Amino acid sequence: MGRVSGKTVIVTGGARGLGAAFARALVAEGASVVIADVLAEEGKALAGELGGRADFAELDVTDHDAWERVVAEVTDRNGPVSGLVNNAGIVHVGSIESLDEADYRRVIDVNQIGVFLGMKAVLPSMRRAGGGSIVNISSIGGIIAFSGIVSYTASKWAVRGMTKTAAQEFGADGVRVNSVHPGVVATEMTADSDRSQGMVTDQPLARRGTAEELANLVLFLISDESSFCTGSEFVADGGYTSQ
């Protein structure tokens, strides 16, 4: 019996990178997974690879109506949603002085507003399921600050705070809400980054994490194994923030 058998889970930004790793791990342990992304071609290909318990849904996480549509379609097809991984995110590099307002707002819209809309959209379905688990992917940039990515840092700190508020508000419905804070993980985004390699050199575990390591943490939080965990930060950063 899989660790998340019988659960229906939406993974945003699920077409590639960490999101794809989360989808693979959840399907392997018995969940029905909806890969929600704007990358339709990659998302459909991944759903096809994962088989009958994976579907693709085109979703712009900044669009309230799109969220309502996707949750309604998933609920009609698979039953109430019992898990949500708010993983979709973007970054824009630039100093505060050089950053355009439009670029700043775009990052906030995806990384922060997208999480808000997702939590809001799935709550009624999770009530019908008798409870559920929401995992919001933040970052170590939501615990400490980095220069040159002010909008990303602001959004990830916001996700950390929103998670705690949601945990307090949703607990009576049996819905748990936790945030995950990855350090440098080997994905397409960091594969050729000199900055990311420099960051891990002096941390206690002096390497990049793997997408599979983060997927194991998300799997734990979606599963009933974490049934007493809510409103908490789960940091997976090789010890970077311990320094």
Domains and CATH numbers, the chain: 8-235 (3.40.50.720)
How confident is the model over 210-228, as a mean pLDDT?
A: 98
pLDDT of 219:
98
152 is annotated as an active-site residue: yes
pLDDT at residue 36 above 70?
Answer: yes
Catalytic member of 152, 170, 220, 234: 152
pLDDT at residue 195 above 80?
Answer: no
Alpha-carbon distance of 84 to 117, in angstroms, equals 12
User: Per-residue pLDDT tens for 160-176?
Assistant: 999 999 999 999 999 99
How confident is the model over 194-219, as a mean pLDDT?
A: 91
User: Per-residue pLDDT tens for 129-159?
Assistant: 999 999 999 999 999 999 999 999 999 999 9
pLDDT at residue 3 above 60?
Answer: yes
43 touches 58 (CB < 8 A): yes
